[in-house]
Structure 1
Amino acid sequence: MQTQNNTQFLAKDCRFCSAVSKANGEDLIGTADTCDYWLIMEIPQPWPQEIFQENPTLKSLMGLFQELVFQHGIKLKPILIAPDREYSNPGFTRVFYYYRPAKLFSRFEKQEFIVPENKAADLVTAIFKQLIQQPNDLSEFKQYQQQTSHIRELMVCTHTQVDLACGRFGTPIYRQLRKEYAPASNGKLRVWQTTHFGGHQFAPTLIDLPQGCLWGHLEPDVLDLLIHRNGSVSGLCKYYRGWTGLSQFEQIAEREIWIQFGWSWLDYLKTGKVLVMEEVAKEHEPNWAEVRIDFAATDGSKTGAYEARIEACGEVMSAFNSAKYLELEAVKQYRVSSLVKVE
């Protein structure tokens, strides 16, 4: 944690929120939004700050999206990606649809479509409606579906118009991943620029799909470990924002299990549950919570569960938006005080 004097210096002399967060040692874990579905759509840049309200195609979909989220409580994350000169086709729009396949899972199931531009809104509408109506029926668009379940997709936020930090720090990481790692993957990895998906104070931040893990404060020298998993997990744990299949306190516990278990943990099917949490007013963060993480091997050969207690362990000063004069806020930090394998 920085001293008060250092914090004041950063507030006065640095306009990037992510630089303040990083310098003050903010822990990233537990900051990944919980998702059951991802809807990712190609829309050409530039992206204004209010792209979802200003783009005519997106604007036409907002009513149904809001119904899904606010009336039906569906955990759906919409993101836009920039068309890529190599990956994309003029006159066509790519749509990724990822969904949670079961209660216990390790990665999201993927459907990818490349449709004529004038059919993109119809496809997204059909996806949205099936989330309410069930069952899954996108047969009308079957001819446009791509067989790309084997491809890993990295989504890097470069949405400068929402926050300067994402452009300043996200763009170089995107370029390095796109130039060095995607071409060397033999078609198994693609890298995309995306609109804001939360947490610009953690720029450069990215989503790793289909796994659904979020990473932040990334540096060039950890990309090899992120992509190839060719070293100790301890080298990546401070960049881990969390797995989007879990909620905040479950994510904090899950990182601790991952550190102990190693890389193989990411492939285990898992689910989480908050057992009990301190009751506080809505505007306050609880000081403690107890959670359970159930897991199983993909072949069913091993099952088990962990229970963990998460406790507040202090605060750091952070900024949520970049600006000439930053407004700093105290952010509660947590640690795992107890982790026990119960089954």
Structure 2
Amino acid sequence: MSRCATVSRVLDEPIAGTAVHASTWLLLEQPGPWGPHALTSSRLDPALGRALEDAAEGSGVRIALIRRPGRHADHGAPPVRQVYAAHTVPGRGWVRGAVTSAPERLLDIDFAALGRGDHGTFDAALPDAAPHDGCPLAFVCTNGRRDRCCALLGRPLAAELAASGVAGTWEVTHLGGHRFSPTLLVLPHGYAYGRVDAPAVKEILHRAREGRVVTEHCRGRSAWARPGQAAELAVRARTRETSADALDVTEVRSVPTGEQDGVPPLWEVTVTHSGGRRWRVVVAQNAAGPPRPESCGAPLGSPARMDVIRVEEGTAEPAP
């Protein structure tokens, strides 16, 4: 059976508007093997993993495990772990880093506050926390126990980046969208990418260091839900705006479509520029065809795709 990433690539499936939605990321170092649900199927205490999942539920915080690229021999719990927290909303974003020998301290975080962008609760739980002012961080999904494409395509990419001296490279447990492997999350801005190779990642990180975003291979900014991601990338394509924080999604409104069968969900998204310009973007959710597996071993399906129907500047009138 063909790998899900191969099928998606052959079908030229669009990737804009496919990033996971998380206003804030919490990333905890956990070496060794990962299972399909890494917070509860790794060498991290599963009771702690479940408690963290429960604490983050509905908060806007997404938790993932990370490890350094390379071989993953099981040497037990590390004496000290790296932890990152990052808020990705334009104009209010930040990245904080800390090390800890007691990962249970993460349960002291007020996750609702962290999801709103309050890093004080992270700092209080991890007293040595400080701003991460260094190089951009690149997290490559490599969890083959969740999907084999992430291991077969992601692990070689992470290893190549690390071997070529790309600082800030980590492996991560899950970024969604296995069929777009290798997938990548870049902080501080929170843009996700798919179908990337090492030269592309180096260019993405170079631009991120300048506060800019590369739109090629971009799945969207995790700060927004999928309609907002697709709308923002459509405005960037139209305007050639590359400043990462120049655009914001300020409203996403569902457009009533009645009870007609076959009418796709529609959204009207308002995208604003820091200089005052505004765009109204109409986005439809359609089913991708022909059927394809959303992950390796899954039955054939028709995953949702975000299609931009219209982009109009300078108006916020309701869509017809």
Name the TM tier (shorter chain). 0.7 to 0.9
Amino acid at match of 1:173: L
CA contact (8 A) 1:65 1:128 kept: no
Separation in 1 of the partners of 2:201 and 2:33?
27
Give the partner amino acid of 1:151.
Answer: C
Cα displacement string for residues 53-97 of structure 1 (whole angstroms, at most 9, x for unaligned residues): 24453522523532441xxx2111111111468xxx962111111
**For residues 164-183 of structure 1, what are the structure 2 equivalents within 5 Å?**
164-180=148-164, 182=166
- Equivalent residue for 1:38, pick from 17, 25, 30: 25
Partners of 2:45 and 2:263 lie apart in 1 by 38
Measure, in 2, the Cα distance between the counterparts of 1:94 and 1:295. Answer: 35
Farther off after superposition, 21-30 or 304-313: 304-313
Q: Which has the higher helix share?
A: 1
User: What's 2:238 paired with?
Assistant: 260
Over aligned residue pairs, what C-alpha RMSD do you find?
3.1
User: How many Å apart are 1:241 and its aligned residue?
Assistant: 0.9
Match of 2:186 in 1: 208
Q: Which amino acid aligns with 1:322?
A: C
1:27 — aligned with what? 14
> Aligned residues: percent identity?
20
Give the 3 Å change call, closer, same or farther, for CA 277–181 of structure 1 in structure 2.
farther
Give the gaps of 5 or more residues in structure 1.
Answer: 1-12, 183-188, 231-235, 297-301
For residues 75 and 141 of structure 1, do their structure 2 counterparts lie closer, same or farther at Cα, with a shift above 3 Å needed? Answer: closer
Aligned partners of 2:172, 2:52: CA distance in 1, in Å? 22
Pair 1:328 & 2:300 matched: yes
Distance verdict in 2 for CA 1:58–1:280, change over 3 Å: farther
CA distance in 1, matches of 2:258, 2:295: 26
Matched residue, 1:161: 145
What is the Cα deviation at residue 114 of structure 1? 0.9
Question: Which of 104, 110, 116 is residue 121 of structure 1 equivalent to?
Answer: 104
2:47 maps to which residue?
Answer: 59
- Quote the Cα distance in structure 2 between the aligned partners of 1:155 and 1:47: 15
The answer as to whether partners of 1:278 and 1:286 remain within 8 angstroms in 2 is: no
Change in Cα spacing, 1:334 to 1:125, as seen in structure 2 (3 Å) is closer
Match for 2:251 among 236, 260, 273? Answer: 273
Equivalences for residues 1-343 of structure 1 within 5 A? 13-14=1-2, 16-54=3-41, 55-69=43-57, 73-83=58-68, 91-100=79-88, 105-106=90-91, 108-116=93-101, 119-122=102-105, 124-128=106-110, 131=113, 136-137=120-121, 138-139=123-124, 141-142=126-127, 144-180=128-164, 182=166, 189-229=167-207, 237=215, 239-262=217-240, 264-268=242-246, 270-278=248-256, 286-296=264-274, 302-311=275-284, 315-316=288-289, 317-323=291-297, 327-342=299-314
Q: Name the structure, 1 or 2, with higher relative contact order (CA <8 Å, separation 6+).
A: 1
Which residue matches 1:6? none
Give unpaired runs (5+ residues) of structure 2: 71-76, 209-213, 316-320
Change (3 A) 1:90 1:169: same
